[in-house]
C-alpha cells in the first residue's frame, strides 16, 4: 500500500476503531463471496467482482496496519508463492 493509503487507513482505524473495521472486513468478504457465487449464475459482472476485491483489499490493509504485520504478511506471501511454484513444478 502507498504512504497516502497508509495515512487514510490509519485515520479510518483511529476514527472508527479496529473492532468495527474488523467487522467491516467480514462484511466485505461476505459481499465478495456473494458476488462470486452470483457471477456463476449470471447475476453479477466482473466489475462487481473487481469492486468487492478492492473492498476486501482495503480492509485487509487496515488489518495489516492495526496488527503491525505488514512485513510478516509479505514474508508469508513470498513463502506461499514459492510453495505453489514448487507444487506446479512436480
Ligand atoms: Mg463491498
Cα 88 to Cα 58: distance, rounded to the nearest angstrom = 30
- 62 CA → ligand 1 middle, Å: 15
Specify the CATH number of the domain 3-89. Answer: 1.10.287
- 89 CA → ligand 1 middle, Å: 36
DSSP type of residue 90 = -
Q: Cell numbers 447475476 correspond to what residue? A: 43
Task: Mark the residues whose beta carbon lies below 5 A from ion ligand 1.
Answer: 28, 31, 55
Confirm if 38 and 18 have CB atoms less than 8 A apart: no
Q: Write down the pLDDT at residue 49.
A: 98
Considering the entire predicted model, what is its pTM?
Answer: 0.94
Q: Write down the pLDDT at residue 34.
A: 98
pLDDT confidence band for 6 (50 / 70 / 90)? very high
For 26-63, how does the pLDDT look when each residue is reduced to its tens digit (9 = 90+)?
Answer: 999 999 999 999 999 999 999 999 999 999 999 999 99
- 58 CA → ligand 1 middle, Å: 10
- 20 CA → ligand 1 middle, Å: 15
Amino acid at each position: 500500500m502507498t504512504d497516502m493509503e497508509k495515512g487514510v487507513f490509519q485515520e479510518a482505524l483511529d476514527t472508527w476503531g479496529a473492532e468495527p473495521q474488523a467487522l467491516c472486513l467480514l462484511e466485505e468478504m461476505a459481499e465478495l463471496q456473494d458476488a462470486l457465487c452470483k457471477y456463476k449464475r449470471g447475476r453479477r459482472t466482473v466489475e462487481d467482482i473487481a469492486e468487492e476485491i478492492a473492498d476486501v483489499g482495503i480492509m485487509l490493509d487496515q488489518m495489516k496496519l492495526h496488527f503491525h504485520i505488514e512485513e510478516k504478511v509479505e514474508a508469508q506471501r513470498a513463502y506461499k508463492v514459492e510453495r505453489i511454484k514448487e507444487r506446479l513444478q512436480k
